[in-house]
Amino acid sequence: MELESERLCYRSPTMTDTEDLREIGRQKAVIRWLHLPLPVDRADVQERILAYQPDHVHPLPLFFVIVEKRSQRVIGWIDLHHQSSFHTMELGYALHPHWQHRGHMREALEWMLTYGFVTLDLHRINAWCAAENTASIALLERLHFRAQGCLPKRQRLGDGCFHAMALYSLMREEWRKPYDKTACSQI
């Protein structure tokens, strides 16, 4: 399954993505905010790629690599995970530092929100991020996510220390509001 936005393509990972994913997984600016150790060994990355393929339990993909159209490089990933109910999931994302601060992740998140709310029929999408990750918090807030609270020392991150984690949430009706206003103004 391959889908796209203006500058980016989104697809399930393949074995040809192994080296790009290994490179992203070696970036300190990426792993410092993640709670899972990223595999960098070729065999471990390939095992993870196989695990991310759609199957009979999840016939639609939930994990996508982000491919920059002009370069055809995998520059990051985006996923929905931890389904807490049939209509709520958590959002995860990472982007290679070279591609950060160019609007790529905002574009990818906007695409994923549409995928989650429309294709998967979700009611709520949650996102956890380190309370000191101001760039990620600002991005979530620009996309109308609302702060739900902060838990001190909730998660051990890539630096090996426990960090306060902020929970952000977006309900389908809150996601829809900016689009509804635009649609109404065109009538």
User: What pTM was estimated for this model as a whole?
Assistant: 0.85
Instruction: Report pLDDT for 183.
Output: 43
Q: How confident is the model at residue 41 (pLDDT cuts 50, 70, 90)?
A: confident
In this structure, the chain runs to a length of 187
- For 103: left if phi > 0, alpha if psi spans -120 to 50, otherwise beta; the answer is left
Six-digit token string for 12: 């399930």
Instruction: Measure Cα distances from 3 to 52, 75, 109, 138 in Å.
Output: 16, 15, 13, 26
pLDDT over 60 (residue 3): yes
- For 121: left if phi > 0, alpha if psi spans -120 to 50, otherwise beta; the answer is left
- Given the structure tokens 């990051």, which residue do they identify? 76
Phi, then psi, of 38 in degrees rounded to 5: -85, 135
**pLDDT tens digits along 47-98:** 888 888 777 666 677 899 999 999 999 999 999 987 777 799 999 999 999 9
CB 25 within 8 Å of CB 45: yes
The predicted model gives 126-154 an average pLDDT of 95
Domains, the chain, ordered by start: 2-185 (3.40.630.30)
